[in-house]
Amino acid sequence: QSALTQPRSVSGSLGQSVTISCTGTSSDVGGYNYVSWYQQQPGKAPELMIYDVSKWPSGVPDRFSGSKSGNTASLTISGLQAEDEADYYCCSQAVGYVVFGGGTKLTVL
Amino acid sequence: QVQLQESGPGLVKPSETLSLTCTVSAYSISSGYHWGWIRQPPGKGLEWIASISHSGSTYYKPSLKSRVTISLDTSKNQFSLKLTSVTAADTAVYYCARDLGGGTSDYWGQGTLVTVSS
C-alpha cells in the first residue's frame, strides 16, 4: 500500500509541454485501467482532470492527456498556461483499496 | 450540480474518536456510485482513507482499517467517517467525495480541517 511514485516537481515554459509520471506496481497502476489525475490549486479541493487512464471529464481541456505503459501512467499537459501551475496527483485502483501518488508541483516559467 | 459538504468537530483530543459527516445534495446516495473520504495533512499529499458503495459495501486503506468505519445514512442522504484512537498524525484536511469507481472522484466537498491536540 505504498504511495505511487511521482516526481516532486516539474517545470515548463508557457506554451510548452510537460509530462508527469506516476509509477506503481502490477497490483495497482499495472493491474487496472483505473488511473485518474487531479489538479489541486492552493487552498482548494482537488479537481478531476483525467480518469480511466485517458478519458476527459466534461469541461477539462484536451491540452491535458493521459496514458499508461506497464506500471507507469503519465499526464501530459501541452500548450502550458499560467493557470496550469498547481499540484498534480495521480490515483489508482489497487486490490481492495485506492492509492494516490505523492504529488507533483508544476511550475510554469 | 452535485454538492458535498463535510461537517464535524475541528478539534479532537488524542486517543479520542474523530467523527465526520458528509451531506450530499442534488443526488441520492442510494442511487449509485461510491462515496469516499480522502485526507491531506498540512503541506502534504492526498491520502485515500475509505469508500462505501451505494449498496453498503465498504473498502478501507489497509493500514487504517483497524481504526476506520465508514457508513451510509440514506434517510438523511449522508455518509460518515469514524476514526478511532487519533494521534497528531491524523491532523489533516478531510475531504468527502463521490467516487465513480476505481478512485475516480468527480465531486468533492470543500474540505474540513481536523486538528488533533489536547
Mean pLDDT of A79-85: 97
Partner residue facing A1 (CB), from B63, B103, B110: B63
Which residue is closest to B100 within chain A, CA to CA? Answer: A51
Partner residue facing B62 (CB), from A1, A48, A92: A1
Question: A14 with A108: CB under 8 angstroms?
Answer: yes
Chain B residues whose C-beta is within 8 A of a chain A C-beta are 36, 38, 45-48, 51, 59-63, 95, 99-106, 108-111
pLDDT at A94: 95
User: Phi/psi of residue B89, each to 5°?
Assistant: -65, -15
pLDDT tens, residue by residue, B43-64: 999 999 999 999 999 999 999 9
Q: Would you place residue A2 in the very low, low, confident or very high pLDDT band (cuts 50, 70, 90)?
A: confident
- Return the CA Rg of chain B: 13
- Euclidean distance between the first and the last CA atom of chain A, given in angstroms as a whole number: 35
B78 vs A1, more confident: B78
Chain A residues with beta carbon closer than 8 angstroms to that of B59 = 96-98
How many beta carbons lie within 10 A of that of residue A66, not counting itself?
22
Q: Would you place residue A68 in the very low, low, confident or very high pLDDT band (cuts 50, 70, 90)?
A: very high
Q: How many helices (H) and strands (E) does chain B have?
A: 0, 11
What count of Cα atoms within 13 Å lies in the side-chain half-sphere of residue A36?
A: 24
pLDDT at A4: 96
Calculate the average pLDDT of chain B. Answer: 97
pLDDT at B4: 98
How many beta carbons lie within 10 A of that of residue A101, not counting itself?
27
pLDDT at A98: 96
pLDDT tens, residue by residue, B63-83: 999 999 999 999 999 999 999
Q: Which three cell numbers stand for residue B20?
A: 465526520
Q: Would you place residue B1 in the very low, low, confident or very high pLDDT band (cuts 50, 70, 90)?
A: very high
Closest Cα to residue A60, out of A41, A37, A82? A37
Mean pLDDT of B86-111: 96
Chain B residues with beta carbon closer than 8 angstroms to that of A99 = 48, 103
Share of chain A above pLDDT 70, in %: 99
Model confidence at A1: pLDDT above 80:
no
